[in-house]
Amino acid sequence: LLKERKILFNDDCTSAIIEMVLLPLQEMASDGTNKPIEIILNTSGGEYFEALVLCNFIETIKCPLTITVLGKACSTGIYLAMAGKNNPNVTRRCYPFSFGLLHAGYQTLSGMLTQHLDQLDFTKAYEEQVKAYVLRNSTITSELYDSMYRNDWYFCSEKLIQYGIVDKII
């Protein structure tokens, strides 16, 4: 698929997303051809720190990029699906049976209480950044986001369109 300038991400979001998606994407985007690239997503989610690094790159990519939700874009995967809304080089799409899931993250704490408190402060601040990202890259309002924050919020393909998470159904 890489020879066809397609990157299939059919895995959980871990640090491997850097090697599996970001590095090939960077290489293709900087090869001087300006040929279109496609990222094909089918992910249950995972670690959002790593996924959001890829989102940062997509926000500024200079060549044509299509993000296609093949089946699912769940948890951190939905951030990838919505990446690049305000970048004219990016098109986001899905299939009729594609779906997404947006929900609050999962976190495990261990260590001293003071470390937990520091981590909680960081998490609150980071969650505000994530919320701002969602609001920038969709049509979800702040009020709606806040009301759904503690829920598992599923989106069928029509809802992905309705909330501006993708641009079209193919």
32: left (phi over 0), alpha (psi -120 to 50) or beta: left
Q: What percent of the chain has pLDDT over 90?
A: 78
For the stretch 6-58, pLDDT in tens is 999 999 999 999 999 999 999 999 999 999 999 999 999 988 888 999 999 99
pLDDT at 107 over 70: no
Tokens of 161: 């369109």
Write the burial class of residue 24 (CB in 10 Å: 0-12 exposed, 13-18 middle, 19+ buried).
middle
